[in-house]
Chain A
Amino acid sequence: GQNIDQPTEMTATEGAIVQINCTYQTSGFNGLFWYQQHAGEAPTFLSYNVLDGLEEKGRFSSFLSRSKGYSYLLLKELQMKDSASYLCAVKDSWGKLQFGAGTQVVVTP
Chain B
Amino acid sequence: ETGVTQTPRHLVMGMTNKKSLKCEQHLGHNAMYWYKQSAKKPLELMFVYNFKEQTENNSVPSRFSPECPNSSHLFLHLHTLQPEDSALYLCASSQEDRSSYNSPLHFGNGTRLTVT
Contacts and interface: CB of A to CB of B under 8 A. Distances in A.
State whether these chains interact. Answer: yes
Interface string A72-88: 00000000000000010
The residue among A35, A97, A102 with the most chain B CB atoms within 10 A of its own CB is: A97
Interface residues of A, number: 25
Interface residues of B, number: 17
Contact of A42 (B102, B104, B109): B109
Interface in A27-60: 30-31, 33, 35, 40-45, 48, 50
Contact of A45 (B43, B104, B108, B109): B104
Contacts of B108: 42
B106 A96 contact: no
Given A33-B105, A43-B105, A45-B106, 18 more contacts: A30-B101, A31-B102, A33-B104, A40-B109, A42-B4, A43-B90, A48-B102, A48-B104, A50-B101, A50-B102, A89-B43, A91-B101, A96-B56, A97-B45, A97-B105, A99-B42, A101-B40, A101-B42
